[in-house]
Amino acid sequence: MIKNEELLTGIKDAFPIVLGYLPLGFAFGVLANQVGMTVFQAGLMSLMCFTGAGQYIAIGVMQAGGAVFTIIMANLLVNLRYLLFATSMVPHLKNVPPGLATLLSYGLTDETYAVAMTRYQDHEATASYMAGLNITSHIGWISSSLGGAILGTFISNTDKIGLNFALPAMYICLLVFVVGKRSDALVAGISATLCLLFGFIFPSTMANMSNIIIATIIAATLGVVIDERY
């Protein structure tokens, strides 16, 4: 019964994420259609990759006529942040079998991380909760991607319906959701400032991906110092 309750709780907590994924996945499907990908290919990419930022980067590189190697390297760089996310979750997963935790962590995204870490502050992590949260979110992303790819032939300009702002809007909502005290807001501000500063100094796309990782590490380190002092 407890496992079923945990599973249902994970599914319920995934609903806001799925609602956020609908416009994001839809926009990806539309863009994938515009660069020549089939519905099957767009759906398969969402199934195998499950990284919104990485998939959008892949579309951009394809539009620019870039090589597959460029797409792979760009995705490796931009998704290095998940190494930090996964590492910070390890202390909460002590009671989850390592093999199962590894499998379920395939569904780790910025959104599922934020929701899970908020819950783990007051509740013990379980495999059932992880399954409900991550799998439901993944299904939402795949479904919305397929929907966008299917209907993409009827949409010529995603900017006109505001889909280009869907990704920044979701990240803003996540930030508001996880900031619970003044030090959290301070660390978020420091990280954003560093990203902008590094982006101004090193404006290339590839450099910006590394800048995000560097800014995150610096801000997280400062966050530890701030929490210890205050």
DSSP per residue, 8-49: HHHHHHHHHHHHHHHHHHHHHHHHHHHTT--HHHHHHHHHHT
Q: Which of 163, 193, 214 is the last residue of a domain?
A: 163
Domain span including residue 69: 2-163
Q: Where are the beta strands (DSSP E) in the chain?
A: none
Average pLDDT over residues 34-46: 90
Instruction: Indicate if 141 and 197 belong to the same structural domain.
Output: no
Instruction: Indicate if 192 and 84 belong to the same structural domain.
Output: no
Nearest alpha-carbon partner for 89 in 97, 101, 72, 77: 101
29 falls within a domain: yes
Evaluate if residue 15 carries a pLDDT over 90: yes
Residue at 113: amino acid letter: Y
79 falls within a domain: yes
DSSP 202: S
Instruction: Indicate if 150 and 204 belong to the same structural domain.
Output: no
218 falls within a domain: yes
pLDDT above 90 covers what percent of the chain? 22
Average pLDDT over residues 6-26: 90
Instruction: Indicate if 70 and 113 belong to the same structural domain.
Output: yes
Average pLDDT over residues 27-46: 88
Instruction: Indicate if 153 and 187 belong to the same structural domain.
Output: no
Instruction: Indicate if 130 and 202 belong to the same structural domain.
Output: no
What element of type H or E holds 77? Answer: helix 68-78
pLDDT above 70 covers what percent of the chain? 83
Query: What's the pLDDT tens digit per position in 183-210?
Result: 778 888 888 888 788 878 877 655 555 6
Q: Which of 163, 188, 213 is the last residue of a domain?
A: 163
169 falls within a domain: no
Nearest alpha-carbon partner for 13 in 82, 113, 85: 113
171 falls within a domain: no
Instruction: Indicate if 228 and 139 belong to the same structural domain.
Output: no
Question: Structural domain tally of the chain?
Answer: 2
Instruction: Indicate if 54 and 80 belong to the same structural domain.
Output: yes
When computed from its CA atoms, the radius of gyration of the chain, rounded to whole angstroms, is 18
34 falls within a domain: yes
Evaluate if residue 134 carries a pLDDT over 60: yes
Contacts of 175 (CB under 8 A, 6+ apart): 188
Instruction: Indicate if 108 and 75 belong to the same structural domain.
Output: yes
219 falls within a domain: yes
Instruction: Indicate if 71 and 155 belong to the same structural domain.
Output: yes
Instruction: Indicate if 79 and 137 belong to the same structural domain.
Output: yes
Instruction: Indicate if 97 and 9 belong to the same structural domain.
Output: yes
How many C-alpha atoms does 27 have within 13 Å on its Cβ side?
21
Rounded to 10 degrees, the C-alpha dihedral 13/15/20/25 comes to 120
